[in-house]
Structure 1
Amino acid sequence: MHLAVQRIYLLFADFVDLLYPTLCVGCAKSLGFNERVLCTKCRINLPETYQHREPYDDNLLNKFAGKVPARFVTSFVYFKKGGIVQKLIHKIKYKGQKEVAKEIGCWYGYQLASESKLLTGIDLFIGVPLHKSRLRQRGYNQADWIAKGLSEALNIPVAEDVLICRKFKDSQTRKNRMQRWENVKTVFSVQDASEVNGKHIVLVDDVLTTGATLEACAVELLKSGCKSVGFITLAAANR
């Protein structure tokens, strides 16, 4: 009996390891009891923005000024090349660790719930969609998993198949603002306008840089009759 229990424990441990890393993403040290994704030290040292406490940050809103009306724009942490946040994003996008995206979405969701009224009256979270070929390659959409974490903390539903990416777009990484907009302006569409008509929606993505992708998504949602669009990203480019 003891051997059977041990085997069950090991199988369970292996399953947990698949869902969550056993090493801290930030410093690669073993995670302790009740630690997930990051050790306590790295978690405390995350470069959090706290933008939700002062949501009308001109630095972020100006990315959308004159282009699309943004109800609010907020990000959980600042992105800096070579830092902890870049490591997190890399794990989420390229190492199959979708549960990391959900966990961090939960962290921010609970923070928003306790420290902000930004999400009052919001009807839906929608993750920025991936083209079906990229979704097939990656196996999941990291924006949807961030949205699932937010949803779990805030009890606001996620709609995964309302907004779609109709055309494959090149990577945005090495493009400037205008090139990014040209790359995405005709890429997205709403499949069923009745799903968004009259609703207050928050678009969710991993990193906010120029805002071109979020803008292109918001344009389609507003054309389909949604009342307002806000933006939440896991990270934002540092000032």
Structure 2
Amino acid sequence: MLNSIYTQLKHKLLHLLEQFIPAQCLICQLASDNKLICKDCKSSLLQQRTCCQHCGLSLPVSQHFCGDCIQQQHYFTKLHALASYTTPYSSLIKELKYGKKLIIAEALGELLSLSILENLNAQQIKSIEYLIAVPLHHKKLRQRGFNQAALIAEAVAKQLSIPVLKDAIQRHKETLPQENLSINKRKKNLHGAFHIHDNVHLQNKHIAIIDDVVTTGATINSLCQSLLKAGVASITVFCISRTDTA
């Protein structure tokens, strides 16, 4: 009873605040009709990318596979990225991760969901049974206080009505920062980094992995290998940004 009254009062207060203090768009800072991102910014941000249709790498012209796909094996069926790692996405992701502006995860998740709906057909989306966020090592999670991929996954789950499989996978190996490592060193760095809990049954499941940024795909491929060993049937990857160079 008290919880119900509290909830009603909270909603009424928020409604009153919205009347006197209109919400601002996270991108242009203008009034956004109480949306996280205004209509104009949303339209400009949801642009079609010319990219590799398999790994999402930015290309001058879209094609089914790219040179990177030929040079290294990817263990996912398809990677779809909302955008390349350029402004404003690079700035938003940094504000989320290092500025701890968690509301940005909700906005990015909403944009990613809209992009998925525009680029995948209804059957492809319906076939996905679970979303899995790329996990952080417990030390990094404790240091940051949150997993940005998990926050984005929750937002996507709400928009697409696909459940998030939580605490199914542990990143039990503390890896080195990937930025300055070669592709081969990245693979070695991530070997055996992920562990799927024994009580999680993923046989013949169709999974979508959620991440904020994909660079070479080493982290994603390492996670995919663990999932495939657990019997997963297929893996799609959804991310906010894909870097322009692998």
TM-score, normalised to structure 1, is 0.79
Which residue of structure 2 aligns with residue 125 of structure 1? 131
* Deviation of 1:170 (Å): 1.9
Counting only pairs closer than 5 Å after superposition, residues 62-211 of structure 1 correspond to structure 2 as 63=68, 67-80=73-86, 83-113=87-117, 115-117=119-121, 118-192=124-198, 194-211=200-217
Is the alpha carbon distance of 1:51 and 1:74 closer, same or farther for their aligned partners in structure 2, counting shifts above 3 Å?
A: farther
Contact 1:101 1:142 in 2 (8 A): yes
3-state DSSP class of the match of 1:206? strand
Out of 38-47 and 149-158, give the one that drifted further.
Answer: 38-47
The residue type equivalent to 2:102 in the other structure is K
Is the alpha carbon distance of 1:213 and 1:64 closer, same or farther for their aligned partners in structure 2, counting shifts above 3 Å?
A: farther
Contact 1:26 1:87 in 2 (8 A): no
RMSD (Å) for aligned C-alpha atoms:
3.0
The residue type equivalent to 1:205 in the other structure is D
- Structure 1's unaligned 5+ residue stretches are none
Contact 2:204 2:231 in 1 (8 A): yes
Contact 1:23 1:30 in 2 (8 A): yes
In 1: Cα distance, 2:163 partner to 2:76 partner: 20
In 2: Cα distance, 1:88 partner to 1:58 partner: 20
**What are the superposed Cα offsets for residues 87-135 of structure 1, whole Å, 9 maximum, x if unpaired?**
1110121122233113221222134235522323111110110011111
The residue type equivalent to 2:178 in the other structure is Q
The residue type equivalent to 1:101 in the other structure is A
Is the alpha carbon distance of 1:57 and 1:152 closer, same or farther for their aligned partners in structure 2, counting shifts above 3 Å?
A: same
Pair 1:34-2:38 in alignment: no
3-state DSSP class of the match of 1:170? coil
3-state DSSP class of the match of 2:125? coil
Contact 2:42 2:111 in 1 (8 A): no
Contact 1:92 1:100 in 2 (8 A): yes
**What are the superposed Cα offsets for residues 142-163 of structure 1, whole Å, 9 maximum, x if unpaired?**
1111111111111111012111
3-state DSSP class of the match of 2:126? coil
- Structure 2's unaligned 5+ residue stretches are 1-8, 59-64
**What are the superposed Cα offsets for residues 160-185 of structure 1, whole Å, 9 maximum, x if unpaired?**
21111002112212222222212212
What is the identity percentage for the equivalent residue pairs of Structure 1 and Structure 2? 25
The residue type equivalent to 2:80 in the other structure is T
TM-score, normalised to structure 2, is 0.77
Pair 1:43-2:42 in alignment: yes
